[in-house]
Structure 1
């Protein structure tokens, strides 16, 4: 299906990086696990935990992209596309509020075990923890719709976009473990909640801006497949 607008690969790559960061940044169970392992076992054990989560997110991104590519004919209708973007803004707003208000440490058991386990074991367990939460697909659907990320019948361009998602996620986990390792002497559970509030605030602000822009027709998504 031809696209009437020029596909900017660099723009798609940047969108992928941003999606990867926004999907990884909320401090859920795997985020807490990453911080705990960085503090208790060392930075690279924490980073490998992030790699496991990144792999799970990538699989869910592929599933989300595949599902959305089948409904692009539906989305090509301007009215339906408008509804989709409004819905995506609401989903992101609710997610931002949840992230801002949540306490990720509430139901997390803090382990005092000294056993490190192998790097592979740490990565696999993080993958399983992340993959056990299919609700991540809802967040990805909202982000994909907001950024007009899906471009059917353009496998090379989409491969670049998905590479961006991996790069963004890896960038987040690398930066998080570096920061926690540098300030390990003063980092505690309050630091985890602060990260959640910052991430939640960014998502809330972004979703409100996009929602207002959509409602008042301040901008529109590119027309698809006419």
Structure 2
């Protein structure tokens, strides 16, 4: 039993890492915050993504089959709303002036809670794209509700360890990414940060527009986060 739990936990970690390694709006935003704010802001943002992904992993793991009909029924509307939300975030980032933010950072007036809440909301807003993505990696690593579910206590514990592993794997990836990006942060000046905001805003906005267009046209495969 002990070895089985370790194996299930390891599979959960693998799914968490694999599902997090994507180039999408939240990844760009996490990098932008690390460079323009601080390592703490980047890590907290990454934890926000990990929490949102873990919540969606629970939904995907236990409830997706029950909700699949409703999700498919409103798929177009949900993708459009999610895409519009991403575009708004991109425009907001593009228009931001990093100099006042840098001054607030030096004065210790940054809000880590806002960083967490905003990126958590952005990730949840894209659930229509993220949940199938997570399900795909569950399949790749041979994790399914029938394997670890069931009504018995052991099955429930195995399911819990899958989610714990998923969360730990996601947190590990985002922490590693932020720490690597942070190595280059001190080389950037305010004018560089303005360029970063513009580039990040454009990329995030483009990904939002892509989401909307891909709803109506069969173009490239879905971008994760």
Establish whether TM, by shorter chain, passes 0.5. yes
The CA RMSD over aligned residues, in Å, is 2.8
The partner residue of 1:152 within 145, 149, 152 is 149
**Match status 1:142 vs 2:136:** yes
The partner residue of 1:112 within 74, 97, 121 is 97
Distance 1:9 1:44 in 2: 32
1:90 is matched with which residue? none
User: Aligned residue pairs: how many?
Assistant: 151
2:174 is matched with which residue? 173
Distance 1:68 1:133 in 2: 15
Contact 1:37 1:46 survives alignment (8 Å)? yes
1:204 is matched with which residue? none
**Match status 1:35 vs 2:36:** no
Distance 2:33 2:121 in 1: 16
- When normalised by structure 1's length, the TM-score is 0.60
Contact 1:61 1:137 survives alignment (8 Å)? yes
2:208 is matched with which residue? none
2:120 is matched with which residue? 127
The gaps in structure 2 that reach 5 residues or longer are 67-89, 204-225
Q: 1:172 to 1:142 in 2, by over 3 A?
A: same
2:184 is matched with which residue? 183
Distance 1:143 1:27 in 2: 16
Shift of 1:112: 2.8
The 5-angstrom pairing of residues 1-226 of structure 1 reads 8-67=4-63, 109-110=93-94, 111-113=96-98, 114-115=100-101, 117-134=110-127, 135-150=129-144, 151-153=148-150, 154-184=155-185, 185=187
The gaps in structure 1 that reach 5 residues or longer are 1-5, 71-106, 194-226
Contact 1:69 1:152 survives alignment (8 Å)? no
Distance 1:132 1:37 in 2: 19
Shift of 1:159: 0.8
Contact 2:12 2:169 survives alignment (8 Å)? yes
- When normalised by structure 2's length, the TM-score is 0.60
Shift of 1:69: 7.5
Contact 2:149 2:158 survives alignment (8 Å)? no
Specify which structure has the higher proportion of helix: 2
Shift of 1:11: 1.4
